[in-house]
């Protein structure tokens, strides 16, 4: 094998990508993890006070204990843990490098990066997640400066009128954080209630704040248009439109994998952006091209978490090893 050709290149340096790297390191594969941002970039971009849904033990990787202050880890503890895991295993990680193309030439993949490198690998794992691509509402004003698809912390919104769209985990947790900072918050929910998948231990607290009038909520409502200091809301039950004050708009309506890129590199995706892959090996329709973590569940991002995605790397590496033995 050419010394410049890796056994495996892993695209994505989140927990599932790092777990793939650990599996590769344990089997002495020549591998490289490429991440376009910081280490575990998606977690870094989570709300500063976020607590994970899963217990600390269930988001641990590489058989390394996760010592958190509580049963469930927070964002800062997770960042420190994954950094420590990377250093413990001496993982080969290249950060702040975007993979711009993956092409298969014969039995080898050619990987183009934003550093104008052209790397080669016998196998590639796409562990790119979904957090980089917010779902668009396709409404007027969605890209205005006071509109965001991410929530980091409450303080920028103090003494402001905030309209937040969404009723899932992120929205529920952000709403309570904003409440504790005295923000004038109105939640916009398209359906009749919050999502059933929202963190169950937070819902009673949120409902009590709504009963007290500390948080306002409009169910059966959609946002139609965004202007500076105002939004236009449509009530689907009454079919009436309301102009409503909003100094800031937070759109927490979810995220999706980069389906265009996955198709560009040869993956078959169904109408829900789920790649065609073997459920045992995670190999896609392109031999040697694998998926790991949340990227394999398409738009159903609630189906795969670190908790179950962290094990994908073991299956992938074992399949790569079995193929190598066959070709010897």
The domain that contains 214 carries what CATH number? 3.50.50.60
* Residues 120 and 20 placed together within one structural domain of the fold: yes
Please check whether residue 141 lies inside any domain of the structure: no
Q: What's the structural domain count of the chain?
A: 2
Strand, helix or coil for residue 167: coil
Q: Report the pLDDT value the prediction gives residue 1, as an integer from 0 to 100.
A: 38
Last residue of a domain, one of 251, 283, 299: 251
Helix 312-326, helix 15-26: angle, nearest 10: 40
Nearest to 123 by CA among 328, 292, 304: 292
> Which stretches of the chain drop beneath a pLDDT of 70?
1-3, 325-328
Q: Report the pLDDT value the prediction gives residue 326, as an integer from 0 to 100.
A: 59
* Residues 15 and 124 placed together within one structural domain of the fold: yes
* Residues 103 and 62 placed together within one structural domain of the fold: yes
Find all residues with CB under 8 Å of 50, minimum gap 6, and list them: 74, 75, 173
Range of the domain at 184: 147-251
pLDDT digits (tens, 9 = 90+) for 185-198: 999 999 999 988 78
6-307-305-281 Cα dihedral, nearest 10 degrees: 40
pTM attached to this predicted model: 0.89
Q: Report the pLDDT value the prediction gives residue 2, as an integer from 0 to 100.
A: 40
Average pLDDT, the chain: 93
pLDDT digits (tens, 9 = 90+) for 117-156: 899 999 999 999 888 889 999 999 999 999 999 999 999 9
Please check whether residue 139 lies inside any domain of the structure: no
Question: Residue 148: in which H helix or E strand, if any?
Answer: strand 147-148
Last residue of a domain, one of 229, 251, 273: 251
CA distance 1 to 17: 24
* Residues 109 and 62 placed together within one structural domain of the fold: yes
Q: Report the pLDDT value the prediction gives residue 250, as an integer from 0 to 100.
A: 98
* Residues 126 and 85 placed together within one structural domain of the fold: yes
Q: Report the pLDDT value the prediction gives residue 298, as an integer from 0 to 100.
A: 83
Last residue of a domain, one of 221, 251, 281: 251
* Residues 216 and 263 placed together within one structural domain of the fold: no
* Residues 51 and 159 placed together within one structural domain of the fold: no
Are 124 and 290 in contact by the 8 Å Cβ rule? The answer is: yes
Which is it for strands 93-94 and 161-165: parallel, antiparallel or unpaired? unpaired
């Amino acid at each position: 094998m050419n010394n410049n050709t890796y056994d495996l290149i892993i695209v994505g340096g989140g927990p599932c990508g790092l777990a793939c790297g650990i599996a590769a390191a344990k089997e002495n594969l020549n591998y490289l993890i490429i991440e376009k941002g910081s280490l575990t970039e998606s977690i870094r971009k989570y709300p500063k006070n976020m607590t994970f849904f899963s217990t600390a033990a269930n988001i641990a990787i590489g058989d390394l204990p996760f010592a958190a202050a509580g049963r469930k880890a927070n964002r800062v503890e997770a960042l420190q843990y994954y950094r420590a895991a990377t250093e413990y295993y001496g993982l080969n990680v290249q950060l702040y490098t975007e993979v711009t193309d993956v092409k298969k030439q014969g039995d080898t993949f050619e990987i183009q990066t934003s550093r104008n490198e052209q790397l080669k690998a016998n196998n590639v794992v796409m562990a790119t997640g979904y957090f980089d691509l917010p779902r668009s509402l396709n409404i007027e004003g969605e890209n205005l400066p006071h509109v965001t698809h991410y929530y980091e912390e409450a303080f920028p919104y103090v003494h402001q009128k905030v309209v937040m769209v969404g009723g899932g985990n992120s929205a529920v947790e952000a709403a309570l954080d904003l409440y504790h900072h005295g923000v004038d918050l109105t939640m916009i929910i398209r359906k009749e209630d919050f999502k059933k998948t929202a963190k169950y231990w937070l819902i009673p607290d949120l409902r009590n704040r709504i009963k007290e009038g500390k948080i306002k909520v409009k169910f059966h409502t959609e946002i139609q248009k965004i202007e500076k200091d105002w939004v236009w809301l449509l009530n689907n039950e009454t079919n009436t439109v309301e102009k409503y004050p909003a100094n800031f708009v937070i759109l927490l309506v979810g995220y999706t994998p980069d389906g265009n890129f996955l198709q560009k590199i040869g993956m078959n995706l169904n109408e829900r952006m789920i790649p065609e892959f073997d459920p045992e090996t995670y190999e896609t329709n392109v031999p040697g091209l694998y998926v790991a973590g949340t990227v394999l569940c398409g738009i159903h991002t609630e189906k795969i978490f670190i908790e179950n995605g962290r094990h994908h790397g073991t299956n992938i590496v074992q399949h790569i090893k079995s193929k190598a033995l066959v070709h010897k």
